[in-house]
Amino acid sequence: MSTRNYRLLPAITLLLVAAVVALFSLYVLDKSKGNPINGQVAGNTTVSDQQYRWRMVTSWPKNLPGLGAAAENFARFVKEASGGRLVIQVYGADEIVPALGVFDAVSSGSVEMGHTSAYYWKGKIPAAQFFTSVPFGMNAQEMNGWLHYGGGMALWRELYEPFNLIPFAGGNTGVQMAGWFNREINSVRDLKGLRMRIPGMGGEVFSRAGGTAVNVPGGEIYTAMQTGVIDATEWVGPYNDVAFGLHEVARYYYYPGWQEPGPSLELIVNKSVYESLPEDLQHIVALAARAVNQDMLDEYTSRNNRALQQLQADESVDIRRLPDDVLVKLRESAEAIYQETAAKNPDFARVYRAYTDYMQQAREYHAVSEEAYYQTRALDEKTKE
């Protein structure tokens, strides 16, 4: 295949996804109300030609690779699948509202929807953190299983109901990196006094282990590291970290991403606005969310591989694994915080039980499937040596 044809593949993929969403939406209509013929649906319901225009605010810089692209892809899928009946304009952080103002803006109806991360709202809803990622929690595959087939989505929507919001899973980066540090981490003692940009439950755990957690929006991380406002930062992984130039402001790049092993992003829609849509457009929104949720994970799986190779070839970057005693300390701190928070917050306790029960089931299966296979693959490499 020619280079020109390879360049066309992303566009072709998006068109195919949009077509699948549209066809599946018609299938849902067919199953629930009959076959649409000339704009008519069984039950004397008419598919309206009215055009709806929404604004989507995000917590990311405009067109940020991966995170920002997912929001744009979602808007594109919806427009194409709806034949232009629902058009969504995407805005980056600070274009309409601040990066951490997305929840309130959508809840109030100032805008129709947003693309962001649930753990930013831990001050409002402590249990919301489970719907992004929590330290030493589930990976992307497990999260998607829990949300869509393990009861997680029902819990998520119940928590957001009082805020007039409907959440959808809106992408996943896969296991992240532990982050960038401007000094070596050789033991737990090296965490003491370290100021690190790390949000959500991960920030609480890091502080409990001796560091100081700072919540800095993504667009401000580079400058904060460059000026010494923070000593370390986690962002996402190689793909986004290279795009942000974080390898220019820190030398040590640590793994594994204990703090965010499978972070889901969220698409949140104002409930009143969503329910005012015709039923077929509601289906399109829901199915486009499912499409972009998987599409984003696929993109990160591919792009992270290439970006990591770039960093490995950069002599100014030192990629290291966190020492075991640091990981053990962080794990102990996480467990203590879970227990303490559950004792004080019934909703947190309820979601925590559901989350951990599902994770245990997944671990038992993955021990004889995913994990066993990784070990087998490693054995094959050792045999070649």
Tens digits of per-residue pLDDT, 157-189? Answer: 999 999 999 999 999 999 999 999 999 999 999
pLDDT in tens, 96-139: 999 999 999 999 999 999 999 999 999 999 999 999 999 999 99
d(CA 195, CA 212): 5
Pick the CATH number of 16-172+264-302 from 3.40.190.170, 3.40.50.1000, 3.40.50.920, 3.30.70.260: 3.40.190.170
Residue 17 near residue 77 (C-beta atoms within 8 A): yes
Q: Which of 52, 1, 34, 37 is nearest to 275 (CA)?
A: 52
Q: What's the confidence (pLDDT) of residue 384?
A: 67
d(CA 240, CA 246): 9
Peptide bond preceding 263 in cis form (omega within 30 of 0):
no
DSSP assignments along 248-275, one per residue: GT-SEEEE--TT-SSPEEEEEEEHHHHH
d(CA 36, CA 60): 39
Residue ranges per structural domain of the chain: 16-172+264-302, 176-259+317-341
DSSP lists the bridge partners of residue 101 as none
Residue 282 near residue 258 (C-beta atoms within 8 A): no
Residue 140 near residue 174 (C-beta atoms within 8 A): yes
Distance, CA of 324 to chain centre: 27
Question: What stretches in the chain show pLDDT beneath 70?
Answer: 1-48, 380-385
Q: Which of 303, 313, 308, 314 is nearest to 64 (CA)?
A: 303
3-state secondary structure of 203: helix
First to last CA, the chain: 35
Residue 176 structure tokens: 């992240």
d(CA 330, CA 334): 6
Give the angle subtended at the CA of 132 by the CAs of 341 and 372, to the nearest 5°.
100
Residue 201 structure tokens: 């439950």
For the entire predicted model, the pTM comes to: 0.85
d(CA 46, CA 55): 26
Provide the CATH number for the domain formed by 176-259+317-341 in this structure: 3.40.190.10
DSSP lists the bridge partners of residue 166 as 269
Total residues found in the chain within this entry: 385
DSSP assignments along 72-120, one per residue: HHHHHHHHHHTTTSEEEEEE-TTTSS-GGGHHHHHHHTSSSEEEE-GGG
Residue 71 structure tokens: 């929001």
Q: Are both 16-172+264-302 and 176-259+317-341 of the same fold?
A: yes
Cβ-Cβ contacts under 8 Å for 209 (sequence gap 6 or more): 188, 191, 326, 329, 330, 333
DSSP assignments along 268-294, one per residue: EEEHHHHHTS-HHHHHHHHHHHHHHHH
d(CA 137, CA 143): 9
Distance, CA of 129 to chain centre: 11
Phi, psi of 116 (to 5 degrees): -165, -160
To the nearest 10°, the Cα dihedral for 379, 380, 383, 385?
A: -100
Peptide bond preceding 256 in cis form (omega within 30 of 0):
yes
Strand runs labelled E in 92-211:
113-116, 165-172, 179-181, 195-197
Q: Is residue 349 exposed (0-12), middle (13-18) or buried (19+ Cβ within 10 Å)?
A: middle
DSSP assignments along 117-186, one per residue: -GGGGTTT-GGGGGGT--TT---HHHHHHHHHHSSHHHHHHHHHGGGTEEEEEEEE--S---EEESS---
